[in-house]
A and B are shown apart, each in its own frame.
Chain A
């Protein structure tokens, strides 16, 4: 992609000073920064909960926490990591990068952008405050199956529902903003099929979000009515059906899974082409693959509930449709490998994380295929095998994608190179500990350890101790990441506009100075 760019660095219109800069900002970079720091903080909160879980599971028996608190930890760990870390981090990256990648000065709806961010601290403030209430926070798993989350829930479930509503509004507003920006603010000459893949991945993700977040809002509203207004959506006593909850929840939940991975596909595609010094292989098949994954995600939801007692035809339908998803996903992996093939590859930290992403996400994909096989799923369902599977796609998948993106664009954001040696150290510690943590989970799961257990039989003890050690190392290593980021903000070798060798041709963001001007493109660039 070649561009003709004119950048003017206007001295006026800079950021306001002090706290009000952050409270009232409508600037896409400031809001992106807020999103990224928010998700970083939530990563440590959700991560501490994981540490509590792993500390308790280090040995069989109840040592540190009681099951009631353990259940609150698993529930909040899941909710925070999904809604408070992965999703806001992707929105933060979108805020920073989309205007710069499409040659726009800012997002289309800047005031809405401010609102959608500031809703998030409210939502999570409410959610986390429930942990300090006498009855405790939500304890019914992040999938909050009725009737455990309705008739049998602590009364704080009402706060949980309110907080999910706010998160939903925030995501929907953010997505509307992103789609409007992509459709209306692209530089002249940038047709849809010339958009960078990260922009494509976010366009598809944003559509998924506005399609399913309202369904989530609907399902929690039904819960609210069942709990407080005597309706019977999920209560068999009044003619409702608890299984209905699972159907509606997973109708939201499965597209949600792809919401958490598609933007990572986009990021990793950019990084692999940059450090292979070779354009991405099969650009259009990458776009079609993401679109088909998104469409298929609406017809596979019941593969999360193969043991609820569906008719044979239903089980087979959801098995086949789920297996189909392996085709576009496989195509993406093949494309990444083909991009590396005959490239000129260097191994900077973002590339290391991206290579690990491709390898480990593929392992998560394999266990995904195994889980799709219904008869075998009878043995895997709700065991640690499932925990291993979704952590492989979410940690070395989504989270590695985010970390890779952060390293990749950090010099652009701050104007300083991060410390490459520390970055590599961070990668290797993370890579090893993530595998020590999540790989043995496959084994304990197959051997029969169910998930969401605060205590377990003696045969699982050795693997669990190993998993806990891995988890502690993984958790501590992320403090190193925090240090690297702060160090890069404060000091470091000055970054050139193109930052990475040859990146100047790869996207509009590399034509701007590092750090870029406050209003990215005040004059629209023209694509040749």
Chain B
């Protein structure tokens, strides 16, 4: 019957669009990576062969920003707040993590590069982003970030800022009743 077919097609559209809504999540991630939207960056990445072939180098300012999200009590800082670097060379910057509380906690660092379109030129050959850091009570650690600024970085970008936000994910990893603490 004609109406049955219409119904079947419409139901398929509804189901398809519901699935599409969820598909937007991975699509958005891919889109962000391509366009550098939000300065979203992935884990370690390396210079491409084409970039290695660029011999022209220039100097620019790289800044490090650390920020604790809401009630994260750790002390988290970069050893230096900014440094001048030459594109194509590898540099290292150290970050300090210190858990001053009397309990073991788990933190996770989310990176963000600004301006966003510079994100794809900020190659971190080694970094602690997206990794869970478990610190015992009173533990202090230093972690390095090694990075290369891609020589293909557009001329208009005069400085790059690498921002790290530290989140407390202890409860997300080990759920417990928060109300008991109030």
Q: Quick check: do A and B touch in the complex, using CB within 8 A?
A: yes
Describe A's contact surface by its main secondary structure.
helix
Evaluate contact between B22 and A218: CB separation under 8 angstroms. yes
Q: Is the CB of B25 within 8 A of A244?
A: yes
Proximity string of chain B (72-93) to chain A, C-beta cutoff 8 Å, 1 when within and 0 when not? 0000000000000000000000
CB within 8 Å of A: which B6-29 residues: 6-7, 10-11, 13-15, 17-18, 20-22, 24-25, 28
Given A309-B116, A311-B117 in contact, is the A241-B17 Cβ separation under 8 Å?
A: no
Interface residues on A, range: 35 or more
Residue of B2, B39, B130 most packed against chain A (CB within 10 A)? B2
Q: Which of B49-57, B95-103, B144-152, B165-173 contacts A (4 or more CB under 8 A)?
A: B165-173
Task: Flag whether A248 is at the interface (Cβ < 8 A).
Answer: yes
A237 and B3: CB pair below 8 A?
A: no
Contact present for B167 and A218 (CB under 8 Å): no
> Complex formed: what's the CA distance from A184 to B10 in Å?
13
- Chain A residue numbers with a CB within 8 Å of B110 are 236-237, 239
Stretch at the interface among B30-38, B58-66, B133-141: B30-38
Q: Which of B17, B108, B167 has the most CB of A within 10 A?
A: B17
Contacts A237-B69, A309-B116, A314-B37 given; does A180 touch B17 at CB 8 Å: no
Verify A184–B21 contact, CB threshold 8 A.
no
Q: Chain A residue with minimal CB distance to B7?
A: A180
Q: Whole-angstrom distance between the alpha carbons of A244 and B22 in the complex?
A: 11
A175, A213, A214: residue with the most chain B Cβ atoms closer than 10 Å: A214
* Distance from B79 Cβ to chain A, minimum over Cβ atoms (Å): 24
**Could you tell me if B21 and A219 are in contact, using CB atoms closer than 8 angstroms?**
yes
Q: Mark A240-255, 1 if CB is under 8 A from B, else 0.
A: 0101100110011000
Are A311 and B37 in contact, with the CB atoms below 8 A?
yes
Asked if A176 and B10 make an inter-chain contact with CB atoms under 8 angstroms apart, the answer reads yes
CB distance from A464 to the nearest CB of B (A): 34
| A311-B28 in contact (CB<8A) | no
CB distance from B12 to the nearest CB of A (A): 10
Tell me the complex Cα distance, A109–B20, Å.
Answer: 27
Cβ of A212 within 8 Å of any chain B Cβ, yes or no, is yes
Assembly CA distance A239 to B36 (angstroms):
15
Nearest CB on B from A179, distance (A)? 6
* Residues in B whose Cβ lies below 8 Å from that of A233: 25
User: How many angstroms from the CA of A477 to the CA of B36 in the assembled complex?
Assistant: 52
Name the one of B2, B17, B25, B35 contacting A184, with C-beta atoms under 8 angstroms.
Answer: B2
Contact, CB under 8 Å: B6 / A218:
no
Closest to A308 in B: B38
| Per-residue contact bits, chain A 288-332, to B (CB 8 Å; 1 contact, 0 not) | 000000000000000000001111111000000000000000000
B40 at the interface (CB under 8 A from A): yes
| B contacts with A: majority SS | helix
In the complex, the chain B residue whose C-beta lies closest to that of A236 is B110
Contact between B172 and A238 (Cβ–Cβ < 8 Å)?
Answer: yes
CA distance A308 to B28 in the complex (A): 15
Do B165 and A236 have beta carbons less than 8 Å apart?
Answer: yes
Interface residues of A in 99-117 (CB under 8 A from B): 108-109
CA gap between A175 and B11 in the complex, in Å: 11
Q: Which of A108, A239, A244, A309 contacts B130 (CB 8 A)?
A: A239
Residues of B within 8 A of A251 (CB): 21, 24
B21 touches A215 (CB 8 A): yes
Q: Is A183's CB within 8 Å of the partner chain B? A: yes
Choice from A109, A212, A238, A311 contacting B169 with Cβ under 8 Å: A238
Q: Let me know if A211 and B6 touch, CB within 8 A.
A: no
A18 at the interface (CB under 8 A from B): no
CA–CA, A172 and B6, complex, Å: 14
In the bound complex, how far is the Cα of B3 from the Cα of A248, in angstroms? 32
With a cutoff of 8 Å between Cβ atoms, the chain A residues found around residue B3 in the complex are 108, 180, 183-184
Report yes or no: B172 in contact with A237, Cβ–Cβ below 8 A.
Answer: yes
Distance from A347 Cβ to chain B, minimum over Cβ atoms (Å): 41
For A179, the chain B residues whose CB sits under 8 A away are 6, 10
Q: List 28 A-B contacts (CB under 8 A).
A: A176-B11, A180-B10, A183-B3, A184-B2, A211-B13, A214-B18, A214-B20, A215-B21, A215-B24, A218-B18, A219-B21, A233-B25, A236-B165, A236-B167, A238-B167, A239-B110, A239-B130, A241-B28, A241-B32, A243-B37, A244-B24, A248-B21, A248-B28, A251-B21, A252-B21, A309-B116, A311-B36, A311-B37
Closest 6 interchain pairs by CB? A218-B21, A237-B167, A214-B18, A215-B21, A214-B17, A184-B3
Beyond A183-B3, A244-B28, 20 additional pairs, beta carbon < 8 A: A109-B7, A180-B7, A183-B2, A184-B3, A210-B10, A210-B13, A211-B13, A212-B17, A213-B17, A215-B17, A215-B21, A216-B21, A217-B18, A217-B21, A218-B24, A219-B21, A236-B110, A237-B169, A248-B28, A311-B116
